[in-house]
Structure 1
């Protein structure tokens, strides 16, 4: 009997540890004091559970993973849970008779939809996506049936659309908060480029067409990729404002940059301490000594913030003949392919070269002290 009690206590301890560990990290824990008020604020997907339930224990890490993806301030859905052993009245009101029970609550209505599928992450996200898509269709009304300049890609048309010319594609998930914020801007971008035959603006729902997104190594949402004649030719990592997106498109297709970005020539003359590199002069410029190179995009917010520090770095080493500070704009038609060959996947990327060969990538803080320290350490190594 005593052994049974010990085992029971150990089991209870494990159960409590699992649920206590999960609680309060990403999944919202509701009770009879806040359940009704909270589900009235936005869409909710709620797990009604009992801590001793084996199926609930197996679902717990998946539910937490789902919450980690979706529980952002900008998201229109919240992942939550209710412990039916401590808040029996809430569960009784929801007709909960078994555990776990998963219900989707639509904001603004008293309706709820019970989930009855396989309790794995892909199936759960598909279910959420379906509920949100139905909501979007209802709210869109007649507008959804009208022609849109924004092309929706799927497994049947993806290859055909990207085969010729330039295509700028948003890979997204309907439940992603950042995707929801970008959606109206992306539509405006498509409208702005509608009459330009050199570019197609498109989007892919990665919850519906996972194979497409997996093929193109999409690991987060939204991911914005540029395709040229069927080949991936760039990843946009800059600010997601309409102005910055339009500027990026214009640079990629070799068009005129809008007026807001025209003061750039002045910036070039000011960069007297930083060597402007291109695909044509790159090998010659980095051939001797140490060359610290910034691969950048003019529309990239992080690059803009780095610019004055990079200039300061060039000034700091201007008298050191063995060191050169350079930069290369990866968005120009001359440099795009070269940057791809250098395996540049984001901006800014900072590579250090010695006598024409890459010897390192800088991933530290982008302040003048850390950047200059990185160069100096390699310089001392060269001199020893």
Structure 2
């Protein structure tokens, strides 16, 4: 079983990892001391270098996925959650640890699978943030996975394989549960030579395509981020997040000038020749890019922002309506209706909401905006579908322009 040992990293002043072509390379405090596969710093022994390269190779993995289904514990709440009326599997990890990064997507699948199992908690502890807690439970390498039976703070160390299947089998055995691994549906559109043109060259869609190879370390690292990106924009019909196995479909890769992996190309509605994506590869970078290029307004959690649905060209008329005396508002409403009739696409759809809100204000008075905004907020706090949430947020945003 492979572990990341904090003492080893401290000994050689390793402060992080640099993602290489096929591995993650340790970054030393001195810029002149970067370990590589071909040249070792003179003060590091060959044995130490071998260990570091082993760690580096294992770190060429995907980054942690969203951890909503895995409970993050702290020193303040650990004993309130663990050792109580349910058993717990706890991963003690470090954010810089390559083995932890490799485990992350498997552990997240485990959390998703056991989410509804009331007798079991799937949790994790960041040992960089909570060193004393990890020390208390004898953690000396990462990741360390421990099983805490119901009502006990005496852990049993997990020594099995780090696949979601093996972890689930262990938890089911210890807890007496019979949980099956949850299938995680993908929001990424998988392209083939047969479907590429009909999807990517569709003039009604903005399409981001990742050309990848299954063996590529960088592609594996990008995979969970790209999946989250697709999930963020899955409610936007005009946005497609797709990928193509360029190692398998080489003709298409060559057609679009793909020479390295992953290569990302954006095919907007107005340029189906495609343009290279050269931005950052964090989720926030991708979300910002899509919002700017596609006119969407979402955050990295997939929620619409306070700008969603707003038609800025209507701002002057909204202000005029807001400031007008009651007997003059009908005249301004007519102007709003006239401008909305000239809009197209999503702006036309949202423009109609402006008209509806203006009519409601004229019918029910200025208090309508406050009461309706409060009603919508109450609805948003309930369990509703993503499409309904989008609908309510857009209406709430538009209402806010009439009450500013």
**When the two structures are superposed, what TM-score results if normalisation uses the length of structure 1?**
0.37
Q: TM-score, normalised on structure 2?
A: 0.35
